[in-house]
Structures are given as C-alpha cells and as structure tokens.
Copies of this chain bind each other. A is one copy, B any other.
Amino acid sequence: MPNSTAATQQATECEAHFVDEDKIRRLQAAMVSDDIIDIVVQAFRALSDPTRVKMIHALSTEELCVCDLARLLGVTESAVSHQLRLLRSQRLVKHRRKGKMIYYTLDDDHIRTLFAQGLEHAKCPQGR
C-alpha cells in the first residue's frame, strides 16, 4: 500500500503524531496476504446467498440431483445449475454422473464445518 510518506509524517492526519507509522507498519506486517484473503473471501461469498446456503445445507445431508434441488428450493433448474457451477468452480461441491442425472455432494469438509459454524452463530440467542 502507498507508504511513500513513511518517514515524513504529516501532522495533519489523525493521531499521526506518536503512534502513527509504527502502528500501521505493525498491522501491515500482521496482515494476511492478498492471496489468502481472496480465498477466504471467495469461500464466504459462496455462502452469502440464501439459495446457495440452502443448497449446501441440503447437500450436507445427502447426495442430490439438480432437479431435486430445484424442487426443494422452488427455483428453476437453470438457476440451480448456475449456482452449482459457481460452487463447483470453487470445489465446494463435486458431481458424479448416473445416466441422465448428475448427483452432487459436498466436496470440501471445511465448508461443512464452516457452514455449521455459521448456523451455530445464527441460532445463538445473543447472535442478534
């Protein structure tokens, strides 16, 4: 990030007087790399839509095909397929073909626990 004015701390900014650059530098050093941040963000983003969350929830129990999910959630099979593609691209679900049907399951166990954690958060009374 723009740290060109590292030494010359302008006095017209915030608490830029004593703590200033040291604090920011220390925080920047502790900051996670952008690559890691991106993976975290994408995992959370996959779980930030009601349709996808419901799909994940259903798939965490058992293997389901596209039309099962569509009817369960009351949305178009096309919509489900699009969302599945997203989840597939992030390796959150995997699929296997059986005849005409394609069955989906959760791929990543991290996501299962991540989702469970979110659910626990939601169910907790103090959790707004």
Binding site for B on A (CB under 8 A): 1-3, 13-15, 23-24, 27-28, 30-32, 34, 36-41, 43-45, 47-50, 53-54, 57-58, 61, 64-65, 67-68, 71-74, 90-91, 101, 108, 110-111, 113-115, 117-124, 127-128
Instruction: Evaluate contact between A39 and B122: CB separation under 8 angstroms.
Output: yes
Knowing A41-B49, A47-B41 are in contact, say whether A61-B30 is a contact too (CB < 8 A).
Answer: yes
Instruction: Evaluate contact between B68 and A24: CB separation under 8 angstroms.
Output: yes
Knowing A30-B61, A74-B2 are in contact, say whether A23-B117 is a contact too (CB < 8 A).
Answer: no
| Identical chains in the assembly | 2
Instruction: Evaluate contact between A90 and B128: CB separation under 8 angstroms.
Output: yes
Report whether over half of chain A's contact residues are helix, strand or loop; otherwise say mixed: helix
Knowing A1-B73, A44-B118, A45-B48 are in contact, say whether A123-B65 is a contact too (CB < 8 A).
Answer: no
Instruction: Evaluate contact between A43 and B118: CB separation under 8 angstroms.
Output: yes
How distant is the Cα of A36 from the Cα of B71 in the complex, in angstroms?
20
Chain B: which residue is nearest A69 at the CB level? B27
Knowing A31-B57, A31-B58, A101-B15 are in contact, say whether A40-B74 is a contact too (CB < 8 A).
Answer: no
How distant is the Cα of A71 from the Cα of B28 in the complex, in angstroms?
10
